[in-house]
Amino acid sequence: MSINNIFYAIIGITYNLLLDGYQVDLIRYSRVFCKLISYILNFCPYLSVYMLVLASIDRYCSSSLNAQRRNWSNIRMARKATLIMLIIIAIFMIGILISFDIRDNGSLSCSSTSDSLFNQIYLIMEVIVYVITAPFLMMLFGFLTIYNIYKSNRNLAVAIRYRPSERQLSRMLIIQVLTQIILNLPFCVVFFALILPTTFQSTIMFYFLYVIFKIPFYMTFITPFFLYILSAQVYRDEFIRLFKKIFRIHGERAIHPATTRVMNGSLATNHLPPIPEVIDIP
């Protein structure tokens, strides 16, 4: 998820800043580039939000009182679920390659329109999958995780087993889920109001809101780090430990040449020929 967010922040935000801030559209003259960039800019947000859904499911399983359900929360299962989700989203996003193309609406632009039955159905599916399904699943498993933690607090044996780090991770995830929904929802509503097959006519004010709501949408790709630092002691401890390790390695490298010179000097002294002892002859 972090790699995906960094990649999107570099590619997506740079492209949109050039487009919205300087009216520099890099993809309107190449059909292949238009489809490829559109695919990437749609694939990354879907992957990010559904990785968060998988994390919510994992926290729910980890906090469950059912031992069999807790066994589902492991690295092997997480890798399988991530790979399956990656494949599903990659296949679903093939529709982007079909619906997006260079169009002449007074000026050349790379866009998708609702002028065909396929585009209409696909755009509606995007609304359902991204705007409705993902937030619903995150909220559902978030509330179920809170309920599991509440039940574990009432059960002394389970409360002892349920480590403080697990509670912190669950709290951290719930905060991230709420932040994701709050920051994403305004832009998603405005965006899909523009592309759905309706008779709605956009105005300058509506376009202004569209651009403004992009800012919190982009923030969802950089806020997880700060949320983790603020909401979880275990993450802060690991972050501080990482910095100490980096500075310790840097310090060792800084003093290594001086140490080597001292050692070389010591070795050179040890290899000097012995000084003959002067004996006074009476």
Give, in order, the Cα–Cα distances in Å from 51 to each of 45, 56, 81, 183, 213: 10, 9, 9, 17, 23
What is the number of residues in the chain? 282
Q: What is the structure's pLDDT at 68?
A: 86
How confident is the prediction along the chain (282 residues), in pLDDT tens digits per residue? 677 777 877 777 777 777 766 777 777 778 888 888 889 888 988 998 899 899 889 988 988 888 888 888 888 999 999 999 999 999 999 999 888 888 777 777 777 766 778 888 888 888 889 888 988 898 899 888 888 877 777 665 554 455 556 666 677 777 878 888 888 888 888 877 776 656 556 678 888 888 888 888 878 877 777 777 776 676 777 778 877 887 776 666 655 554 444 444 443 344 434 434 443 333
Q: What is the structure's pLDDT at 272?
A: 39
Domains of the chain with bracketed CATH: 2-221 (1.20.1070.10)
**Cα 260 from Cα 253, distance rounded (Å):** 11
Q: What is the structure's pLDDT at 231?
A: 67
pTM of the model: 0.72
Which residues, 6 or more positions from 153, have their beta carbon under 8 angstroms from its beta carbon? 159
Q: What is the structure's pLDDT at 256?
A: 52
Q: What is the structure's pLDDT at 276?
A: 43
Q: What is the structure's pLDDT at 243?
A: 76
